[in-house]
Amino acid sequence: MKRFLLTLMACVAVASSYALKYDVVVAQDGTGDFTTIQEAVNSVRAEMQERKTIFVKNGVYREKVVIPTNCINVTIVGESKDSTILSWGDHAKMPLPGTDKPMGTFKTYTLLVRGNGFKAKNITIENDAPQLGQAVALHVEADKVEFVNCRFLGNQDTIYAGKENCRQYFKDCEIEGTTDFIFGPSTAYFEACLIRCKKNSYITAPSTPEYCKYGFIFNKCRIVAADGIDKVFLGRPWRPFGQSVFIGCFLDKHIRPEGWDNWRNPENEKTARFVEIGNNGPGASMEKRVAWCKKGKKNEKKEYEVSRVFSSSVEKWQPEE
């Protein structure tokens, strides 16, 4: 009986600490405010300026989650990156519910973020669909978004940075995929992330508009591959002015000597903005890189500092992390 009371008191103490630190707690075992992440998001009052934080206890949450436009300044914090998992399995060739039409790429997301100021920490976002077509894990259509110590798992099209002139920041994250698994028109900064290639294909497919100064920036990241993968391009332009920049990154031996692809269109070579500055590793040699890739000098790094990249828009912004 004494042991039972001590255990009960410990549980109450933990629950109380969660209540003090977080606005909403999600737990599959019923010890929180809600058992699903979407219920917790729906409970957050719309258009509130003060930040609301949702804590998600460990577990595999099989749901498709949307952060709507009117839910701004929402933070989701997982109990641990490897054990708090949001997972779904839609892919582009699946039929839309109630129809015989294919779903298409942009409805396959596991997490869709439309509310500005969203943050996520210590959580895995996964699309576990088989390799039968595009299958997005994270789809972002919001500005001033941050992901810290998160994992993004999938195959083709894992992360869609999906709205031009919007800014997203990824720090200390793990991202894996097969083809074009980081793609879209947003300005996205990847700081000290681990990028894992699962197939001989392409890492980035930026569609940066011509008027946007910055597209995808990778700073001090590690670009590695699964066993047997040995022919991967850093990127190809989904649209003519797509930009991908790799600065001070470790590039393993799977990166192809030419580095970049023109997406079967030589005209893209005149406009695509692909830059490498001060990378290292067996895949970083510039000797056989395509002529239309810019080989930046070390003193050009300051042009791609976070403070500059995210202050290029009308409203200046800096990530808190």
Residues annotated catalytic, as ranges: 157, 180
Q: CA dist 138 to 7, 69, 194, 277, 313, Å?
A: 38, 16, 16, 28, 23
Q: How far is residue 184's CA from residue 294's CA, in Å, rounded to a whole number?
A: 21
CA of residue 9 relative to chain centroid, distance: 39
DSSP 110-178: SEEE-STT-EEES-EEEE---SSS---SEEE--SSEEEES-EEE-STT-EEE-STT-EEEEES-EEEES
Q: Would you call 53 exposed, middle or buried from its count of C-beta atoms within 10 A (0-12, 13-18, 19+)?
A: middle
Q: Would you call 236 exposed, middle or buried from its count of C-beta atoms within 10 A (0-12, 13-18, 19+)?
A: buried
Bridge-partner residues for 247, per DSSP? 219, 277
Indicate the DSSP class of residue 270. G
Query: Per the structure block, which two tokens stand in for 237?
Result: 């332009």
In which residue are the tokens 């952060």 written? 67
Bridge-partner residues for 62, per DSSP? 87
Q: How far is residue 193's CA from residue 169's CA, in Å, rounded to a whole number?
A: 11
Q: How far is residue 201's CA from residue 13's CA, in Å, rounded to a whole number?
A: 50
